[in-house]
Amino acid sequence: MPIAGIYGPDDFGPVHGQPAAHTRSRVSPAVRAPALPMPSLEWTPEVERSTAHLYERVKNVVSPVEWPFMAPYIKAINELKKTRDAVILAHNYQTPEIFHCVADIGGDSLQLAVEATKVKSSVIVQCGVHFMAETSKILNPHKTVLIPDSRAGCSLASSITGADVRLLRERFPGVPVVAYVNTSADVKAEVDICCTSSNALQVVESLNAPTVIFLPDQYLAKYVASKTDVKIIAWKGACEVHERFTGDELRAYREADPSVQIIAHPECPPDVLAEADFTGSTAHMINWVRDKRPRRLVMITECSMADNVRAELPDVEMVRPCNLCPHMKRITLPKILESLIYLREEVTVDPLIAEKARRSVERMINLKN
């Protein structure tokens, strides 16, 4: 069914973008425990020996020239995790040396949200973007949640505020609101339920409503609308990485090699999805590759995911139109190390906002279970 309408900040005038001061989550440099000494970062025979098993995991995508610069950080981070009683959660878009060598749990935002509820460690280091760290804090209010670089934002999360959701509710009274997890805590607190790209259709249909407001990704909204009879009212947000792909680009890959397989993320525009052999979330894309083992593959999503898959499945040749997420790439090994040494930067969410946002996230998680 076509989208019933797409709204954006211009439709609501100057109120957009003005969340109440108490609704903003904060990142503080607060240090609850003393900083630890900086470990040695020299490349030594001992570092080489103790990280050899980790290099095995990434040798297809990290060259032997690069490894001596990474390995000392990896060794230090893995040791500091124990000292700090910390767990590292890494999104699929993190680089291979982070995803395969220091992360305890990797996955898409749904997997990370679910795993965040099970961790026993007192500290969570979120290798991803800010809304993911906020979600971990919302689900783990008594744990210390750190993000190695608080500037790691997201064009979707910054496209809408809680005030915008309230205005949408005034315009469409009684219509339930679904928020993609790529939103701030302030927005999650105002909606009925959250979703990810893995479960967006299931969440929309679970509401048993003829019309649903779906925000903030207009392309994911269009994709869901194409799969359901529920009328979808969308928001004008977009992922700055996925909206840059074009159908022409995909057709050129297919003309160059008609046997190539193309898989795409539903945050891409409709003309891109129309050219793809498969559309799915990052987790669904990875499962598809594991299952089908294509000879040559174009993965229409953030670049690092292709590296992470290739590290695991070297027989799959990746043909990559490379779009990097500048926010995800703010997270690096040196910043993760500093995060553990200084316990920074700590993500906090106002408890009243967190309580309301938790309901929306847990409603989604319980639906899955």
Q: Where along the sequence are the contacts to ligand SF4 (CB under 6 A)?
A: 129, 154-156, 182, 239-241, 302, 325, 327-328
Alpha-carbon torsion 87, 193, 331, 280, what sign?
positive
Q: Which is nearer to ligand SF4, 76 or 276 (CB)?
A: 276
The candidate with the shortest Cα–Cα distance to 295, out of 308, 321, 314, is 314
Three-class SS of residue 346?
strand
Q: Min. distance of Cβ 91 from ligand SF4 in angstroms?
A: 8
Tokens 């965040």 correspond to 116
Q: Min. distance of Cβ 62 from ligand SF4 in angstroms?
A: 22
Q: Which is nearer to ligand SF4, 98 or 129 (CB)?
A: 129
Q: Which is nearer to ligand SF4, 302 or 345 (CB)?
A: 302
Pairing of strands 26-28, 346-348: antiparallel
Three-class SS of residue 155?
coil
Q: Which is nearer to ligand SF4, 155 or 184 (CB)?
A: 155
- Tokens representing residue 231 in the block: 């009328």
Q: Which is nearer to ligand SF4, 81 or 108 (CB)?
A: 108
Q: Min. distance of Cβ 287 from ligand SF4 in angstroms?
A: 19
Q: Which is nearer to ligand SF4, 97 or 217 (CB)?
A: 217
The candidate with the shortest Cα–Cα distance to 241, out of 153, 313, 333, is 153
Q: Min. distance of Cβ 139 from ligand SF4 in angstroms?
A: 19
- Interatomic CA distance for residues 334 and 137, integer angstroms: 23
Q: How far is CA 215 from CA 138, 157, 194, 236, in A?
A: 20, 10, 10, 8
Q: Where does 219-293 show beta strands of DSSP type E?
A: 231-235, 261-264, 278-279
Q: Min. distance of Cβ 104 from ligand SF4 in angstroms?
A: 21
Q: Is 133 left (phi over 0), alpha (psi -120 to 50) or beta?
A: alpha
Answer yes or no: are the C-beta atoms of 24 and 186 closer than 8 Å: yes
**7: β partners:** 235
Q: Which is nearer to ligand SF4, 67 or 223 (CB)?
A: 223
- Interatomic CA distance for residues 184 and 176, integer angstroms: 18
Q: Min. distance of Cβ 305 from ligand SF4 in angstroms?
A: 10
Q: Which is nearer to ligand SF4, 75 or 265 (CB)?
A: 265
**88: β partners:** 125
Q: Min. distance of Cβ 94 from ligand SF4 in angstroms?
A: 11
Q: Which is nearer to ligand SF4, 129 or 300 (CB)?
A: 129
Q: Min. distance of Cβ 163 from ligand SF4 in angstroms?
A: 21
Three-class SS of residue 153?
coil
Q: Min. distance of Cβ 250 from ligand SF4 in angstroms?
A: 18
The candidate with the shortest Cα–Cα distance to 158, out of 265, 238, 241, 219, is 238
